[in-house]
Amino acid sequence: MKLKRYFLTAIILCCINSVRAQEFLVTSNKLIERVLPQHHHSFLTESLSYARPKDVFELESKGDKIILRGNNGVALASAFYYYLTEFAHCQITWNGTNLNIPSVLPKVNKKIRKETPYEYRYYLNYCTFNYSMSWWDWPRWEK
């Protein structure tokens, strides 16, 4: 009886993990579509299984597609940003955007894998939450 319970628990955990992976793939695809509406079909996102708590991403080209893999949504967004800066030579910052994308996206010559050395990372500073974010509209939040 205990074996059945363990087996059922394992199946449920796998299903929950699969749903979670699908959620961050969907949101990552929406991010790519917002940033590059004319090229979003050129990207494929995939979940990357990774046991450690640190973020990791991979990117490579297969045919005419750019494959982005990550163990969570932040890792996938990092892979996308890495591609934009290192291969497309574009940049998106709080101070401006340079998205002069060629009509044919540059290929990734060989698979690249990056892992953050940090277990914890922080976004923004303590002043941003009240002095700036109070005045943001929805498009600014989506960035």
Collapsing DSSP states into helix, strand and coil, what is residue 37? coil
Alpha helices in the chain (DSSP H): 2-35, 73-86, 138-142
DSSP labels for 73-102? HHHHHHHHHHHHHHTS--EEETTEEE----
What DSSP designation does 109 have?
S
pLDDT in tens, the chain (143 residues): 666 554 545 555 544 554 455 788 999 999 999 999 999 999 999 999 876 778 999 999 999 999 999 999 999 999 999 999 999 999 988 778 899 988 899 999 999 999 999 888 777 766 666 777 778 888 887 77
CATH number at residue 89: 3.30.379.10
What confidence score (pLDDT) does residue 41 get? 95
> How many structural domains does the chain have?
1
Question: Could you tell me the CA-to-CA distances from 31 to 5, 67, 82 in Å, in that order?
Answer: 39, 15, 14
93 is in which domain, residue-wise? 2-142
34, 142 Cβ separation under 8 angstroms? yes
- The pLDDT score that the predictor gives to residue 76 is 96
| CB neighbour burial string for 76-107, b if at least 16 within 10 angstroms, e if fewer | bbbbbbbbbeebbebeeeeeeeeeebeeebee
Are residues 72 and 19 in contact, defined by beta-carbon separation less than 8 angstroms? no
pLDDT (0 to 100) of residue 15: 44
